Amino acid sequence: MEMIRLTIDGKEYEVQPGRNLLDTCLSLGFNIPHFCYHHALGSVGSCRLCAVKMYIDAGDPKGMIVMSCMIPVKSGLIIVTDDSAVLEFRKSVLENLMTNHPHDCPVCDEGGECHLQDMTVMTGHNARRFDFKKRTHLNQDLGPNIYHEMNRCIQCYRCVRFYKDYAGGKDFGVFGAHNNVYFGRYREGTLESEFSGNLVEVCPTGVFTDKTFKKHPTRKWDLNTAPSVCTHCGAGCNIIGGERYGTLRRIMNRYNENVNGYFLCDRGRFGYDFVNAPERIRDVVIKHENISENTNLVSLLPSIIGKDKKIIGIGSPCASLEANFALMSFTGKENFYNGVSKKDFSFITTVLDILKNSPSAPPSRGEMERSDAVLILGEDILKTSPITSLAIRQAARNLSKKMAAAVGIPAWHDSAVRTKGIHLKSPVYITGTQSSKLDDIAAEVLNAPAEISAQLGFAIASYISKKAPETVLPDAALSVLAKKIADDLMNAEYPLVISGIDAGNSALPKAASNIVHALAVEGKNAKLLLILPECNSMGIGMMGGKDLDDAITEFDSADTLVVLENDLYKRLSKEQADELFGKFKNIIALHHSHNSTTSAADIVLPSGTFAESEGTFVNNQGYAQRAYSVFQAKEPIMDSWRWISDLIELSGYEKSRWQNFDDLVNDMVRVFPEFLKIAEILPNADLRISGQKIPRQTPRFSGRTAMNAKTNVSEQKPEQDTDSALAFSMEGYSGIPPAALIPNYRASGWNSTQAIYKYIDGADGSNITGDTEAKLIEPLSGKPAKFFDAVTE
């Protein structure tokens, strides 16, 4: 791409064309105040805060104040960001926006992490002249997740632009006019969007705050925070957990341009309180028949897991690769079962086989958003991978953006693009057993049984390429639809096919695969995404091995069963689970929360949740991503792999096979070379930057002496983290760490999540300090197309 040159504050810069001035200046490190602009939402020019002085060229004597978010960069432009008239303009705009603001920072949940606070300081507005009664509003109860405080609103419109325009919500809007506008619901009630929690982050002040955080409030700068991965589905959205006093207080988005961008779904953001729940297992539970008053774990375990015992391990697609591998190492591969039923495992291996033989790698989030024709075949992605549905909602706008570009309107000019092509949708086709809230973006929807969707898919492939197996559809209307979808996919520049296994029919991913191979035969580089149900389904598939049905049939009896973070009563019928458990003299369950399996176990060992453990998970895109412990749980809660390491030692086999997490990872990649990139790309515990670890706490973290004063009035040494390059401390490296280790976003003058501009390259949205994931599935170019027979189940 040919770069252009412009001058900012007397210095010449080479920048990428096609972007706006604000975005460009922010990327170059200039602190330009702004409210309504958001990198994902684009520009509407409503707040008037991003003013700069622009001179058309060196001959322009006066220049003019412009809103930088509305100006495309052009060669030769001369920009002044700190002109006195500009500074005065921004200050007066801020003062105007603040006339009705309640100035309630000391009691506001946004305080200390507030974009409005930052902008007020940045513009220099520091004295209040407005001497009249402030306009006030009634707040609404918006349900259990979002707290509403309308008086703090500065009318930037970000909330409604995200909720309605970006996420497709229908029950939220803006009401009123002039200087009296109201952002909320028509009637009080719970917000219906699956993405409502993002209001907390897009709102630049405290109008929408996290109600779950309010239940156990703390100042934001007093949190221990660490990079983590959401474990609620297979999408693997990147998150930041925040802890204080041993409880997980909130989840925030962690930017990853390839997975979730700036946003999370509500399940991921608000579904964290199980970490603090009374149902948590916080102690070792021993219900063994040989128990006496003096029995403890160390005295009991050697007799049930000793060298002479046959021990069976059952892993889990909800546990990390490392925890599964640790259990497999303990029991031996021949005695390890991966914790999913035969049927589910066959689906997972089918998906993995398809992806390994696919002509292209699974798409990144950016590639999904760029798609100009999409087929969602038989999978309700709003349910099974919500963040993917958000990406597809953006893909549906590509025709609008294309139309706008044809008349010179850039994609970032959000208001103009929507005005130009508001009714124009890129072709998105959705098939599924029932309707979905995503249907509103579809060119056509087919609600039909999974077999019909699969037949349709096979037919589409055969219409695209004669090499694909021919399929006869049961009626003419379906044939017309198949032909239409085939034509749209063929005519697209970036076709995308999505399917999955939620409907319980492996013909669906096979049909999706046929379509992508047919497109490849015809010279199209189509992308294929297949949705798996759990956070490490893909990882379990890559490890291979035997399944739960094998465990039921392969042996009649054994001494001890060890179940890792899995409730087998949810995967098998009660009769099957009882039959399986009946084969063992002893059952040991590792889990963080009580369930039917822990009830059936003789010994229960308390595992850490994702917030108290370190581990790697492989998502639907084949990205291995690491979750780091946000805080150290109280003993005896530990990472599952540490429990297993202790079991190995107590069994008498060897002493402490793994001293730390890296030992375990290195051992794992020796046995599973397909995971080698994990060891190569994800940072290990030895990493130091300028000789320092990366602190989980902000420099403003307070009360660390007082919080432990009940046990010792002297300041205590922080807990040590031997498993990662992160420290449970406020001391450490203060710059921007490697992307996989970013524990929070902050920069000089930027205390809100808007500081993210200092962490990413605005041009392509990538993290400036590298990747957060190791990509484990590579495209298999040059191989002949592989077509499945057009058989449905």
Residues found near ligand FES in the complex (CB under 6 A): 22, 34-37, 45-50, 67, 69
Q: Which is nearer to ligand FES, 49 or 368 (CB)?
A: 49
The dihedral built from the CA positions of residue 578, 600, 627 and 388, taken in this order, carries a sign that is positive
CB of 397 to ligand FES, least distance (A): 21
CB 84 within 8 A of CB 92: no
Backbone angles phi, psi at 419, to 5 degrees: -70, -40
Q: Which is nearer to ligand FES, 46 or 341 (CB)?
A: 46
SS3 673: helix
SS3 525: coil
Tokens of 290: 């040989």
Helix, strand, coil percentages for the chain (3-state, nearest 5): 35, 20, 50
SS3 430: strand
Q: Which is nearer to ligand FES, 15 or 562 (CB)?
A: 15
CB of 763 to ligand FES, least distance (A): 19
CB of 413 to ligand FES, least distance (A): 11
Give dist(CA 209, CA 752) in Å, integer: 13
What H or E segment, with its residue span, contains residue 745?
none
CB of 758 to ligand FES, least distance (A): 17
CB of 35 to ligand FES, least distance (A): 5
CB of 222 to ligand FES, least distance (A): 31
Q: Which residues pair with 247 in a beta bridge?
A: 244
Give dist(CA 335, CA 265) in Å, integer: 38
CB of 118 to ligand FES, least distance (A): 14
Give dist(CA 662, CA 628) in Å, integer: 13
CB of 254 to ligand FES, least distance (A): 24
The dihedral built from the CA positions of residue 766, 769, 773 and 774, taken in this order, carries a sign that is positive
CA-wise closest residue to 317 among 500, 502, 565, 549:
565
DSSP state of 398: H
Give dist(CA 359, CA 467) in Å, integer: 15
Q: Calculate helix-pair angle for 398-406, 414-421, nearest 10 degrees.
A: 100
CB 186 within 8 A of CB 173: yes
Q: Which is nearer to ligand FES, 93 or 399 (CB)?
A: 93
Report long-range pairs for 398-402 (Cβ below 8 Å, ≥24 apart). Answer: 398/370, 398/371, 398/372, 398/426, 399/372, 399/424, 399/425, 399/426, 399/427, 400/424, 400/425, 402/372
Give the strands of the sheet with 373-377, arranged side by side.
444-447, 428-432, 373-377, 495-500, 527-531
Tokens of 694: 């990366």
Q: Which is nearer to ligand FES, 50 or 503 (CB)?
A: 50
CB of 48 to ligand FES, least distance (A): 5
Q: Which is nearer to ligand FES, 43 or 358 (CB)?
A: 43
End-to-end CA distance of the chain: 49
CB of 103 to ligand FES, least distance (A): 22
Q: Which is nearer to ligand FES, 137 or 158 (CB)?
A: 158
Q: Which is nearer to ligand FES, 67 or 374 (CB)?
A: 67
CB of 727 to ligand FES, least distance (A): 37
CB of 49 to ligand FES, least distance (A): 5
CB 627 within 8 A of CB 617: yes
Q: Which is nearer to ligand FES, 22 or 361 (CB)?
A: 22
Q: Which is nearer to ligand FES, 48 or 413 (CB)?
A: 48
Tell me the CA distances in angstroms from 25 to 20, 719, 753, one per residue in order.
9, 41, 18
Q: Which is nearer to ligand FES, 15 or 351 (CB)?
A: 15
Q: Which is nearer to ligand FES, 48 or 527 (CB)?
A: 48
Give dist(CA 487, CA 162) in Å, integer: 32
Q: Which is nearer to ligand FES, 243 or 414 (CB)?
A: 414
Q: Which is nearer to ligand FES, 44 or 391 (CB)?
A: 44
CB of 403 to ligand FES, least distance (A): 24
For residues 354-370, b (16+ Cβ closer than 10 Å) or e, as one string? bbeebbbbbbbbebbbb
SS3 738: coil
CB of 93 to ligand FES, least distance (A): 9
Q: Which is nearer to ligand FES, 35 or 345 (CB)?
A: 35
Q: Which residues pair with 5 in a beta bridge?
A: 14
CB of 51 to ligand FES, least distance (A): 8
Strands in 575-687 per DSSP E: 584-591, 603-606, 615-618, 623-627
Give dist(CA 504, CA 449) in Å, integer: 11
What H or E segment, with its residue span, contains residue 528?
strand 527-531
CB of 241 to ligand FES, least distance (A): 30
CB of 208 to ligand FES, least distance (A): 18
Q: Which is nearer to ligand FES, 67 or 98 (CB)?
A: 67
CB of 71 to ligand FES, least distance (A): 10
CB 589 within 8 A of CB 563: yes
Q: What is the CA radius of gyration of the chain?
A: 28
CB 282 within 8 A of CB 606: yes
Give dist(CA 445, CA 428) in Å, integer: 9
Tell me the CA distances in angstroms from 339 to 317, 324, 350, one per residue in order.
7, 10, 17
Q: Which is nearer to ligand FES, 49 or 376 (CB)?
A: 49
DSSP state of 334: G
CB 21 within 8 A of CB 94: no
Q: Which is nearer to ligand FES, 67 or 531 (CB)?
A: 67
